[in-house]
Structure 1
Amino acid sequence: MLRRWLLPAYAFVLALLVLAPLLRPGYLLLRDAVSTPRSYLTDAALGLTAAPRATPQDFAVACASHVIDGGVVVKALLVLGLWLAGWGAARLAATVLPDAGMPGQFVAATLAIWNPYVAERLLQGHWSLLVGYGCLPWVATVMLTLRSGGSWSGFFGLCFWLALAGLTPTGQMLAATVALVCVVAPSSEPGRPRWRCAAMALGAALAAALPWLTASAVGATLSGHGSAPGVAAFAPRAEPGLATLGSLASLGGIWNGQAVPDSRTTLFAVSAALVLLAVLLAGLPTTARRPAAVPLLALAAVSVLVPAALATGPGLHALSAVIDAAPGLGVLRDGQKWVALAVPGYTLAAAGAVVTLRQWLRPGVTALVCCLALILALPDLAWGVGGRVVAVRYPPGWSAVAAAINERPALVAVLPAGTMRRFSWSGAAPVLDPLPRWVRADVLTTGDLSISGVTIPGEGDRARAMQQLLLAGPEPSALTEAGVRWLVVESDSAGDMGKSGRTLAGLTPALRDKEFALYRLGGGTADASAPGRRATLIAHLVWLATLIVGACGALAVRVRRRAAA
């Protein structure tokens, strides 16, 4: 019994070693990561008035925050994601490389958790993407088992993992890709036909993708502003001493040079990359001889080479043309996030190092050396990436403003202009404005991002038009006629206020402190819900049902098998 839980316990300890600062009271608020005590099922949360990038993530957190503090929900899911990544990598290694034994599984679990991809996505605030990342080895394990003729009950597990990975569209696409690639794997036994496995994967993936597919189809029409600036700004980035290809091959190279652990900002990145690649190359000859591993190894190569090619001049031009022709493919801009597809193959190769080297070293010694080498190659991943991923506390004014707006929810405009904020209490990194997730009313936000002096326009024109109106300093009646009922000035954040002082001079604040000035404009009520809200809610419920049925079905089968044994 103790032996069975040794690997899950090891993966959990590693996950906690990375995320320990988040165990303190407070909320995750770092760049794209926003957590608040409560959140609500607004049209924006359902992806109806903005691009559905956080769908059904916002739906899930809004539902859960009715019974559990939203900050606890987000932190628990993030720990779960890293834990699943390590434990799942060990399970995948046990399935594909059983002769690697527990030593190989320890190496696989270590690489899955302790790598630059995890560090950089943590610093960028992509917590829900890391939940999807943690599901990838489980999807691969379940699909390989189904392919080899395992029980049909594995379909429940496939539904659960695809739905959990589907907290974000990117996570769902990553998981579906891994599932379909594993369908190609040959089976040493009669096995299940590939077309049936593919049909199961596509069916489960479609159910998991319904929230953002439906929101994209019935939501507000989003405006395009040209893809070229965004494609160049989000392209993978070469780290010191490493070309773009070397950065991606070592699981680094995120577009944002500020969201990088300190050790990857110096020539130490070269030695770290060499350590990781040496472990992989040591195990590659062994792993490549396992038929079930070949598709995942091929996927790893493609997921590194294609983003590297798209980061070149011709690649950027081609990708811009594709996104201009099909704006919905804008998800492809951030090429480095697709390197997550390499991790299942990478973990198998890492586990294979134990088998390759056992003629010279005992497996336990090899595993210890490899695990320590991987950890020491990225020492500042520990303790919240060197203390940069921490829990923060909201000043009291946030609760007061949210309570006032939630008492009479109606359309909200915010100053200063912009989507990102720098608060005195939230640390040095910019953060997304938390207000839209804390109130039950829709908050106008442009989604514009400023990267290295270049503004990347967000989607939708209404918020941008309102922002321009506010910066022009109109009469308060002009805002009321435009449908705005609340105006919030986040005084603690620097930003462009334009000539809005003329507007504010004619208003009496309903609430004011050093953090906020809240103004009520007129006595209007909340706007009518966006068209398609009912259809989108049904799509989200289908996703939730897929998640719950998959989990309950897989658990019931497991309990029945143990009872029969």
Structure 2
Amino acid sequence: MRAQAPKTGPSTGAARRPRRAARAALWPTALALWPLALAVLVAGPLLGRGYLLLRDAVSTPRSFLTDAALGVSDAAPRAVPQDVVVAALSSVVDGGVVVKAVLVLALWAAGTGASTMVGALVPARGPGLRAAGLAGRCTASTLAVWNPYVAERLLQGHWSLLTGYAALPWLVWAGVRMRRAPAVGIGATLLALALAGLTPTGAVLGVIVAVVVAGMPGGWRRAARVAVAVAGFAAVAAPWLITAAVAGPGTTSDPAGVGAFAARAEPYLATIGSLAGLGGIWNAQAVPPARTGAGALLGTLALLALVACGVRGVWRRRAHPVIAAVAVLAVLAVALPALSATAPGLAVARWAVDTVPGAGLFRDAQKWVALAMPGYALAAALGVRALARLPRRLPGLRARVAQNRRGSRRAGVLSALGSAGACAGAAAVSSAVLIAALPSLAWGVGDALRPVHYPPGWDAVRTIVDAKPDDGAMVTLPAGSFRAFPWTHGPVLDPAPRYFRTDVLVTGDLLVGDTTVGGEGARARAAEQALLGGAAPAALAEKGVRWVLVQHGTPGASGDSAATLARAELVYADPDVSLYRIPGPVPDRGATAAQRGWAWAGHALWLAAAVTGAALLWGAELRRRRRGRRSRRRV
């Protein structure tokens, strides 16, 4: 009697299709919601009313298009086009909401970018190579969002630098897509570079990844890919390249900043160990509590153990040029900052900063460790699959697996389900270990990122000085760039330059321990020295100063400024601030119309790159939808 073959007709296939569709719909949702949940968990305290004010992070109710915002003041253009973007958006939405929204979106984009990048790179062609799957991609998201680099940069107030950090895995993905779908790849590259280019550091981070990935062999013309990356960088970096060329009188930076900003060894770790664990920021006050003792060693070991589990998987895929490039970039991103912290490295860096214009951008060596994140995320995703296979390597379980393979079809299905469950379990354990290794990153990095509220006197002063924003510039007391108000949760950059429509002169000097790192604000320094020396108000007026704002409750030097202020006009005073008006005519010492025009041209190039990238992506998506509709009609 002939045995009946199992039924595999249309009804069986039709029954499987809904399940496959359900799984296909579940993946994008999970891959998007998981990093969003992590981002909200990190930034939770900031989601209430108020403003982010912590070290370099300064948000205000409204920002303005001042000379400093355009990058044409006498200080270096370090925050362009960031300040112009915030000024434009804060004319419609409260500035505090803008900064908090960008921060949350950057963290979310870092997680989704890591998982998308892993999905594009794995599987690679080769025998026995399998995809990282949902479990591996979720783990990559966890590592991208939850690591010491993110925690330390948040505590340092580098919210906009995190947009450049978040763009890195997207640039890897764009480089892969450019090989087979040039329009999509070019659009994604331009848009990611524009978002990374909110700060000069972000733009440099982005172009390094874009050029390295584009320069690898394979696919669409390599020279064209590199040209796209270089041209995109030139456009998004134009706001600070152009303004530095036409407005910056100081071409070099203070070499004292090299040692002050060098990477720092954490407890029980050498400098290279701290950097390998994605930590080692120069500012000890910007280190999360979980990494101030033995936690630094344990957290680093946990992170590196997960990455090490995936090294074999990365090595087996080394024939893939982009995977090889990402891996090498991760190694160099750790090794080179570590070398720069040695005595020879510091000597070379001091020479470069003192000699080469713009080399001061590289003084903070630890921030370049961000380039390791794509490689770490890829290794972590592959490490989850390696961890999931560990139980199968035990002698007793290996025999059971072999028996299942020789058994029925049902046993094979159960084995596949067990494999999926093992991957899910490994991903859950890996993510839990990453989070447990840095618990203080949760809820505002140990509640350090809490919104604050400006005292009412700040609005009163703004009403006065903004009534005539072109009447003259403002200087502030006490001297120095940082403040420690009783109503903030830590030291913060002076908010005045972003709070008022009038130009506020700042020297940019920074005190790091016992070392003072000089800024580039020559005009601000001259005005400050005259004020601290008790000069006549006319001396300030000659330098273009109309207003002196005294901020109470914060430490700092005031010198003999009382002698100058006694001959000025007190126009407002309360327990928080006092405002003095310098009498007499005040000449305009700000930027020229030509300098502002060049600055606007640079910002227009940045915007053109962003719009072009978005348009190319939108056009590609429309074409994909049209093809999908045509395919359904044929069916």
User: Smaller-chain TM-score range?
Assistant: over 0.9
Following TM superposition, by how much is the alpha carbon of 1:476 offset from its aligned partner in structure 2, in angstroms? 2.0
Aligned to 1:513: 574
Which residue does the alignment assign to 1:219? 247
Partner SS, residue 258 of structure 1: helix
Out of 315, 322, 332, the position equivalent to 1:288 is: 315
1:366 counterpart residue number: 426
Equivalent residues of 1:185, 1:294 under 8 A apart: no
Q: Which residue of 2 aligns with 1:278?
A: 305
Matched position secondary structure for 2:69: coil
Shift of 1:158: 1.1
Per-residue CA deviations over 1:20-73 (Å, capped at 9, x if unaligned) read 011010111100011111111111111111101111101111111111111111
Distance 1:66 1:46 in 2: 16
Mean CA deviation greater in 149-158 or 435-444 = 149-158
Correspondence 1:65-464 to 2 at 5 A:
65-98=90-123, 99-147=131-179, 149-187=180-218, 191-222=219-250, 224=252, 226-227=254-255, 229-290=256-317, 291=320, 292-361=322-391, 362-409=422-469, 410-427=472-489, 429-464=490-525
For residues 335-381 of structure 1, what are the alpha-carbon distances to aligned partners after superposition, in whole Å with 9 as ceiling and x for unaligned? 00000000001100000112323322521111111111111010110
CA distance in 2, matches of 1:202, 1:318: 27
Q: What secondary structure is seen at the aligned counterpart in 1 of 2:105?
A: helix
- CA shift, 1:15, in A, is 0.4
Residue type of the partner of 1:419? S
- In structure 1, how many angstroms separate the alpha carbons of the residues matched to 2:463 and 2:324? 55
2:605 is equivalent to residue 542 of structure 1: yes
User: What are the superposed Cα offsets for residues 469-516 of structure 1, whole Å, 9 maximum, x if unpaired?
Assistant: 101112222222332111111123221110111122223311111111
Letter in 2 for 1:487: V
Give the letter for the 2:178 counterpart. L
In 1, Cα distance between equivalents of 2:565 and 2:582: 11
| One-letter code aligned to 1:178 | V
Whether the aligned pair in 2 keeps the contact of 1:250 and 1:277 (CA below 8 Å) is yes
Q: Which runs of 5+ in 2 are unaligned?
A: 1-24, 124-130, 392-421, 629-635
Q: Given that residues 277 and 300 in structure 2 are in contact (C-alpha distance below 8 angstroms), is that contact kept between their aligned partners in structure 1?
A: yes
Instruction: Show CA shifts across 1:118-158 (max 9, x none).
Output: 000000000000011111110110111213x2242321111
> How much does 1:450 deviate?
0.6
Following the alignment from structure 1 to structure 2, what is the Cα–Cα distance between the partners of residues 482 and 112?
A: 48
Q: Does 1:19 align with 2:43?
A: yes
Secondary structure at the aligned position of 1:470 is classed as: helix
Aligned length: 559
Cα RMSD, aligned residues only? 1.4
Q: Distance in 2 between matches of 1:341 and 1:469?
A: 44
Unaligned runs of 5+ in 1: none
Structure 1 contact 288–297 (Cα < 8 Å) conserved: no
Which has the greater radius of gyration? 2
How far residue 92 of structure 1 moved from its aligned partner, in angstroms, is 0.5
The one-letter code of the counterpart of 1:111 is L
Counterparts of 1:35-54 in structure 2, within 5 Å, are 35-49=59-73, 50-54=75-79
Scaled by the length of structure 1, what TM-score is found?
Answer: 0.97
Bigger mean CA deviation after superposition, 293-302 or 351-360: 351-360
Report the Cα distance in structure 2 between the residues aligned to 1:24 and 1:493, rounded to whole angstroms: 25
Q: Is the contact between residue 314 and residue 382 of structure 2 (CA under 8 Å) also seen in structure 1? A: yes
- Identity among equivalent pairs (%): 48
Query: Using a 3 Å threshold, how does the CA distance of structure 1 residues 300 and 356 change in structure 2: closer, same or farther?
Result: same
